[in-house]
Structure 1
Amino acid sequence: MGVEIKIEHLTKSFGKSLIWKDVSLTVPAGEICVMLGPSGTGKSVLLKTIIGLLKPDEGKVIIEGVDIASCPEKELYEIRKLFGVLFQDGAMFGSMNLYDNVAFPLREHTKKSESEIRNIVMEKMDLVGLLGAEDKLPGEISGGMRKRAGLARALVLDPEIVLFDEPDSGLDPVRTSFLNQLIIDLNAQIDATFLIVTHDINTARTVPDNIGLLYHKHLAMFGPREMLLSSEEPVVRQFLNAQRVGPIGMSEEKDADELEAEKDQELPPLPPIPLQQEPSSGIPRKSQRPPGQWCAENGVTPPPGSFAPNMSMAPGA
């Protein structure tokens, strides 16, 4: 079972440049969460702070009762063993074949025998659909295969938290769809806590249990998928429905003149909330909520056509 990530009043700057301020949220144990935001809003910085690669200026990141923002290096080293990370480009060692790339964390951090390592590596490569490709070099395979190899390596230490830094980056829509299904299936099998940074709106609308949105140096909203997909909050509505009308512009924020010109424009209706993607087995994940449950519990009427099977996303213009 995954573990909870509790973030309290987190602030991070680089020199005089404020990245985000007073960010607080709880990533529930065993659930899939997506973090969105316009480019440059510090999504990847947040992942690096969560794993302790960057220190925040203020605030806490509490995992298993330990604040990794202030704990001793030795304790941080032990906490990091709970993590697996899929980097944007897979971060493969170009001179090693896929087998040795996946085996690397086991050889570095455990005292397992080579026969034990082989069993684990082959199991994880089978899990991501790469059996038979273990002798290939990273330069000999497609970007999608490198992502899956990176995911196999992230899983070899049986992590309780898996961080995904833009897993869809550089992938076409078909391979992104396959990767999304793999993420769903893995969560169903290992019950780890997943946190995904992405720009892909279809992924955000169909994959996670919870969604967060970073905007203008703060966390605009974080909560259950249905809460954000039915939200009338301008920045959340605009981003999650890929609309032009709203506070986000080409350079992140629109100026006062642009917003004034838009104020009388009629917003397109919210698109229907799609069904959440299910595991290939058809058996719901432990953290998966019945369609419409959050809306019903909170007295929210979802957009017409929500939770219909086989629907595709059709965001407003």
Structure 2
Amino acid sequence: MGVEIKVQDLTKSFGRSLIWKDVSLTVPAGEICVMLGPSGTGKSVLLKTLIGLLKPDYGSVVIEGTDIASCSEKDLYEIRKLFGVLFQDGAMFGSMNLYDNVAFPLREHTRKTESDIRAVVMEKMELVGLVGAEDKLPGEISGGMRKRAGLARALVLDPEIVLFDEPDSGLDPVRTSFLNQLIVDLNAQIDATMLIVTHDVNTARTVPDNIGLLYHKHLAMFGPREMLLSSEEPVVRQFLNAQMIGPIGMSEEKDADELESEKGQELPPLPPIPMQLDPSNGIHRRSQREPGLWCRENGVTPPPGSFDENMSMAPGAF
């Protein structure tokens, strides 16, 4: 069972450069959340702050009653055992084969025998489809395989929270689809709390229970998937629906002249909200909501064609 992450008034800067200010959100226990935002908005900084690798200037990150922004190093060390992290490039030790990379956390943090470690490592490698590749070095395999090896390593301590830092970075659309399905299947199996940082709009529209958007040094919105996918908030609508019209430009914000030139232009209609990705076994996850439930409960009319099981999510479908 996953655990809740409660973030309150979080502010982080590097010197005089403010990254984001007064970020508050609750990542619900056992649910899948996605954090989006234009490049340079501090999404990876947020992940590092949640695990205590970076200290915020202000605010709190409370996990199981412990504020990791102000706790002792000893308490932080214990809280970190709840986490598994998949870094952008897999973060493999180049001189170790995949087996030893995956086994590393077990050897560092447990007193398991080598036979017990082998059983756990092979279980996780089978989970991510890497059985038979355990003797290979990271430099001998593809980027997608390194990502899966990194995920196996993130799972060996049976974490209650799993953080994914741009898991689709460098992957082709097919491998990204396989990885998305794997994330959903893992959540169904282990019920861990999952937070994914990504730029992939298809991932954001089909995988999570909740979506957040960092923009212009603040959290623009965070909430249920259907809330953001039906939002008329300009920056949310523009980013989630891959539209050119809106406040985001090639640099994070469009200048006044660009915004002025867009006045009077009609925004494209919101695309249909797709069905959420189901686990491979077809059994709904604990946190998975009935399609359209949030819209009905909040009196929101979803875009025409929403929740059609046959709706294409191929590139260019929205």
TM range (shorter): over 0.9
Q: Aligned with 1:283: secondary structure?
A: coil
Deviation at 1:132, TM superposition (A): 1.0
The answer for the alignment partner of 1:11 in structure 2 is 11
Deviation at 1:140, TM superposition (A): 1.0
Map of 1:76-91 to 2, 5 A cutoff?
76-91=76-91
* Amino acid of the structure 2 residue aligned with 1:60: S
The alignment's C-alpha RMSD in Å is 1.0
- Residues in 1 aligned to 2:257 and 2:18: alpha-carbon distance in whole angstroms: 25
> TM-score scaled to structure 1, two decimals?
0.99
The answer for the alignment partner of 1:109 in structure 2 is 109
- Residues in 2 aligned to 1:267 and 1:159: alpha-carbon distance in whole angstroms: 43
Q: Aligned with 2:85: secondary structure?
A: strand
Map of 1:178-257 to 2, 5 A cutoff?
178-257=178-257
8 Å Cα contact 1:269-1:316 kept in structure 2: no
Deviation at 1:312, TM superposition (A): 2.3
8 Å Cα contact 1:21-1:218 kept in structure 2: yes
- Residues in 1 aligned to 2:309 and 2:259: alpha-carbon distance in whole angstroms: 37
* Amino acid of the structure 1 residue aligned with 2:186: L
In the TM superposition, what whole-angstrom CA distance separates every residue of 1:94-123 from its partner, at most 9, and x where no partner exists? Answer: 111100000000001111100110000001
Map of 1:1-317 to 2, 5 A cutoff?
1-313=1-313
8 Å Cα contact 1:205-1:240 kept in structure 2: yes
> TM-score scaled to structure 2, two decimals?
0.98
Deviation at 1:310, TM superposition (A): 2.8
- Residues in 1 aligned to 2:310 and 2:11: alpha-carbon distance in whole angstroms: 41
* Amino acid of the structure 2 residue aligned with 1:246: G
User: Which range is displaced more, 138-147 or 3-12?
Assistant: 138-147
Deviation at 1:160, TM superposition (A): 0.1
Q: Aligned with 1:13: secondary structure?
A: strand
- Residues in 2 aligned to 1:310 and 1:81: alpha-carbon distance in whole angstroms: 41
What are the ranges of 5 or more consecutive residues in structure 2 without an aligned counterpart?
Answer: none
- Residues in 1 aligned to 2:27 and 2:67: alpha-carbon distance in whole angstroms: 15
8 Å Cα contact 1:241-1:316 kept in structure 2: no
* Amino acid of the structure 2 residue aligned with 1:80: R
- Residues in 2 aligned to 1:316 and 1:117: alpha-carbon distance in whole angstroms: 45
- Residues in 2 aligned to 1:261 and 1:143: alpha-carbon distance in whole angstroms: 42
Deviation at 1:316, TM superposition (A): 8.6
- Residues in 2 aligned to 1:189 and 1:6: alpha-carbon distance in whole angstroms: 24
Deviation at 1:218, TM superposition (A): 0.1
- Residues in 2 aligned to 1:310 and 1:169: alpha-carbon distance in whole angstroms: 28
- Residues in 1 aligned to 2:163 and 2:202: alpha-carbon distance in whole angstroms: 19
* Amino acid of the structure 2 residue aligned with 1:126: E
User: Which range is displaced more, 125-134 or 62-71?
Assistant: 125-134
Q: Aligned with 2:272: secondary structure?
A: coil
8 Å Cα contact 1:241-1:315 kept in structure 2: no
- Residues in 1 aligned to 2:107 and 2:18: alpha-carbon distance in whole angstroms: 39
Deviation at 1:260, TM superposition (A): 1.4
- Residues in 1 aligned to 2:10 and 2:295: alpha-carbon distance in whole angstroms: 30
- Residues in 2 aligned to 1:132 and 1:110: alpha-carbon distance in whole angstroms: 25
How many residue pairs get aligned? The number is: 317
8 Å Cα contact 1:243-1:315 kept in structure 2: no
* Amino acid of the structure 1 residue aligned with 2:86: L
* Amino acid of the structure 2 residue aligned with 1:156: V
* Amino acid of the structure 2 residue aligned with 1:28: P
Q: Aligned with 1:44: secondary structure?
A: helix
* Amino acid of the structure 2 residue aligned with 1:259: L
8 Å Cα contact 1:36-1:199 kept in structure 2: yes
